[in-house]
């Protein structure tokens, strides 16, 4: 067996990728050194894509990502081993299912060494926000989900304020910025934001000492 074929990416197809098709199409993306770059539009689960980091954009369309894929066999043995170690550990990450709760975020803050997490925009609860809260398609607003006007404890405790952009009349939204960044999980204090700073101070006491990390998104969200 060739050196690269033992790597688990083909396990999804019983080591016969020609006969079987990945049913979910979810793709973690790695660079040419075997380092995790992020995900395509569908998340972490599935067989990996290997591409030049200069071509990568977080949350990029699956078909575009696949077009840049050079294949696992492109990696040298050392880089393949590095990629395999990371890939085999993906299912142990808190973002494997595309969701993130407060306990998971705090644990990653303490033990994740500053590595980013990736969440499914469709699984971020944006209620009570609705389409009527936007002035027009394409308009954006920053929503603090700990503010009594938009109170959503579960979402607010993890993300605090989220930038939300309305995409269409069906309530489809983009969360975060165009570069795929949703939030930086830290506990910085900001001048003039008293209510937010009180919540941040309490959150910092609960989380303990740790390392800030970025939270990226993939896919699209939805509002009522």
Residue 203 falls inside a structural domain: yes
Please tell me the predicted confidence (pLDDT) of residue 3: 43
User: Do 88 and 17 belong together in one domain?
Assistant: yes
User: Do 11 and 75 belong together in one domain?
Assistant: yes
> Which residue range is the domain that position 83 belongs to?
3-92
Number of domains forming the structure of the chain: 2
User: Do 85 and 111 belong together in one domain?
Assistant: no
Residue 50 falls inside a structural domain: yes
Please tell me the predicted confidence (pLDDT) of residue 139: 97
Show which of 54, 74, 92 is a domain's final residue.
Answer: 92
Please tell me the predicted confidence (pLDDT) of residue 18: 33
Whether the pTM exceeds 0.75: the reply is yes
DSSP-derived secondary structure letter, 160 = S
Residue 97 falls inside a structural domain: no
User: Do 88 and 180 belong together in one domain?
Assistant: no
Structure tokens at 80: 């393949």
Mean pLDDT by 10 residues, the chain (224 residues): 41 37 64 97 93 97 96 95 95 96 95 97 97 96 92 93 96 95 78 54 61 96 95
Instruction: Give the torsion through C-alpha atoms of 120, 123, 126, 131, to 10 deg.
Output: 80
């Amino acid at each position: 067996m060739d050196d690269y074929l033992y790597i688990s990416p083909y396990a999804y197809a019983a080591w016969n990728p020609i006969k079987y098709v990945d049913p979910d199409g979810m793709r973690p993306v790695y660079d040419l050194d075997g380092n995790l770059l992020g995900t395509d539009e569908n998340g972490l689960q599935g067989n990996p894509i290997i591409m030049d980091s200069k071509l990568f954009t977080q949350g990029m369309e699956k078909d575009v990502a696949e077009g840049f894929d050079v294949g696992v066999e492109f990696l040298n043995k050392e880089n393949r081993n590095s990629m395999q170690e990371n890939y085999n550990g993906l299912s142990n990450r808190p973002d494997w299912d595309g969701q993130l709760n407060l306990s998971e975020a705090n644990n990653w803050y303490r033990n994740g060494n500053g590595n980013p997490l990736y969440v499914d925009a469709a699984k971020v609860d944006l209620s009570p926000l609705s389409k009527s809260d936007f002035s027009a398609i394409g308009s954006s607003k920053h929503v603090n989900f700990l503010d009594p006007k938009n109170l959503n404890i579960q979402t607010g405790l993890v993300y605090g304020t989220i930038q939300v952009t309305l995409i269409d009349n069906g309530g489809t939204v983009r969360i975060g910025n165009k570069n795929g960044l949703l939030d930086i999980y830290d506990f910085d204090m900001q001048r003039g934001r008293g209510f937010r700073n009180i919540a941040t101070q309490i959150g910092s006491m609960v989380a303990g000492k740790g390392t800030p990390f970025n939270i990226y998104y993939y896919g699209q969200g939805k509002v009522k």
